Amino acid sequence: MADQFDVVVVGGGPGGYVAAIRAAQLKMKVALVEREHLGGICLNWGCIPTKALLRASEINHLLHSLDAYGFAADNVRFDFKKVVQRSRGVAGQLSGGVKHLLKKNKVTVYDGHGKLAGPGKLSVTKDGKPVAEIAAKHIILATGARARVLPGLEPDGQTIWSYREAMVPDALPKSIIVMGSGAIGSEFASFYLNMGAKVTLVEVMDRILPVEDAEISAFVQKSFQKQGMQVLTGARLQGVRKEGGGITAIIEAGGKVQEIKADKLISAVGIVGNVENLGLEGTKVKVDRTHIEIDAYGRTGEPGVYAIGDIAGPPWLAHKASHEGVICVEAIAGLHPHAMDALNIPGCTYCRPQVASVGLTEAKAKEAGHEVRVGRFPFIGNGKAIAMGEPEGLVKTVFDAKTGELLGAHMVGPEVTEMIQGYVVARTLESTEAELMHTVFPHPTISESMHESVLDAYGRVIHI
């Protein structure tokens, strides 16, 4: 006889486990099916452990910049295996925390692979053997995504790495090629560069971080190059050769073909949704380019089947998945939640310098027909940034010239990933330049640059 639940969630990542907990809070009987790691890719192999690695690389950078602060140290060195071990320990600690939260909220967890087995039914298997049959009126698919693999760039665990191999190397490579300059590629490029490797970042588009505002992308590229990174844009990979324990990439850029040799190559060229073997055949669930089509509340074309997170399409962000899970569950419960506005979802990249943004870029705002007012404030005009020894940064704000609506905010520099939430709140509350101008920002803080950027858009900037 099938185990009976109100809601069953397939996938225990940041979308799935949050949806399960919210459903439990709403007094539903909930099950969660996870085949590998509670916390999902983000917690175990993405967002969290990469931040631990990046923190280590920031410390390494500071230790080699002590003279600027009046310090000196001899024989500065690191144990790369311990750096990696610490990141794995952080991931393990948080995965255990998710297990505790699910138990605390009385969510039944099944270890296995979930697959639709008819209306309101789900089968769970582990290593090909049956684990359970589950019946539930509502089934939420939150199976996430995996790295896209390009022909000729199949990860082999030796010279060609996916993000997984790049997070747990046995030793620091002397040189590395990173294919793809989105958030994942740029973060790995920054990490390895700051740990001392020679890094080449390759991007097929005409600029790195192509989803960001063009001005911010240019700022980051210039900073990367200043740090010693080779950056190739408008570049196409024509092939690779594995030789001598390393790899050679044949790349065409700027009308020229060049061969770049390195110890390792990281492929970071996007993701594809995990839609296989979910039992979608014969259902009304529609899949478009490996992503499930949903409405504003996670509903698919099949009654009682929902999808959230990376499997439901962009933006592929953990916080988007979590919020999507809450909206989906609250809609199931009849609470009439607000649909999510994708333009109010912040994006963060934790390279050095950090990048954070929300809303429309200047170009997208103009394409949408807005007459815009744009403000900018460089960190070189901010007292706290100078005192910290971090004057490299910029805040850019984009407003509708007629209504004063904050259309977008774009930031680059130290700790901007922590500060962007101020603009996210402003957009969620539908603030205009008037409210932002009348907001008192504490002094001295880097966040004052956010205020000054708003003032600059209206000709009232003070400190530059």
Question: What is the predicted pLDDT for the residue at 37?
Answer: 85
Give the pLDDT band (50/70/90) at residue 219: very high
DSSP 294-319: --TTSB-SSTTEEE-GGGG-SS--HH
Residue located via tokens 């509708």:
400
The domain made up of 353-457 has a fold known as Enolase-like; domain 1 (3.30.390)
**What is d(CA 95, CA 44) in angstroms, rounded to the nearest whole number?**
7
Tell me the per-residue pLDDT of 4-43, one tens digit each, with 9 for 90 and over. 999 999 999 999 999 999 999 999 999 999 998 888 887 7
- pTM of the entire structure? 0.95
Q: Was domain 3-147+272-342 assigned CATH 3.40.50.720? A: no
Is 456 a known ligand-binding residue? no
Question: What is the predicted pLDDT for the residue at 25?
Answer: 98
The DSSP call for residue 444 is: S
Is 180 a known ligand-binding residue? yes
Question: What is the predicted pLDDT for the residue at 46?
Answer: 82
The β-bridge relationship of strands 287-288 and 291-292 is: antiparallel
What are the domain boundaries of the chain? 3-147+272-342, 160-269, 353-457
Q: Which parts of 119-213 fold into alpha helices (H)? A: 163-167, 183-195
Is 245 a known ligand-binding residue? no
Is 282 a known ligand-binding residue? no
Pick from 258, 263, 265, 253: nearest CA to 188: 265
Is 184 a known ligand-binding residue? yes
The DSSP call for residue 432 is: B
Cβ contact 345:319 at 8 Å? yes
Is 270 a known ligand-binding residue? yes
Is 114 a known ligand-binding residue? yes
Question: What is the predicted pLDDT for the residue at 361?
Answer: 98
Residue located via tokens 């588009």:
205
Question: What is the predicted pLDDT for the residue at 6?
Answer: 98
Return the active site residues.
443
Question: What are the φ and ψ backbone dihedral angles of 345, each rounded to 5 degrees?
Answer: -95, 120
List the single range of 155-159, 299-303, 442-446, 458-462 with lowest mean pLDDT. Answer: 155-159
Q: Does the fold of domain 353-457 match that of domain 3-147+272-342?
A: no
Is 259 a known ligand-binding residue? no
Tell me the per-residue pLDDT of 287-342, one tens digit each, with 9 for 90 and over. 999 999 999 999 999 999 999 999 999 999 999 999 999 999 999 999 999 999 99
Is 181 a known ligand-binding residue? yes
Cβ contact 12:30 at 8 Å? no
Tell me the per-residue pLDDT of 62-96, one tens digit each, with 9 for 90 and over. 999 999 999 999 999 999 999 999 999 999 998 89
CATH class of 160-269: alpha beta
Is 187 a known ligand-binding residue? yes
Is 185 a known ligand-binding residue? yes
The stretch 378-394 carries a mean pLDDT of: 97
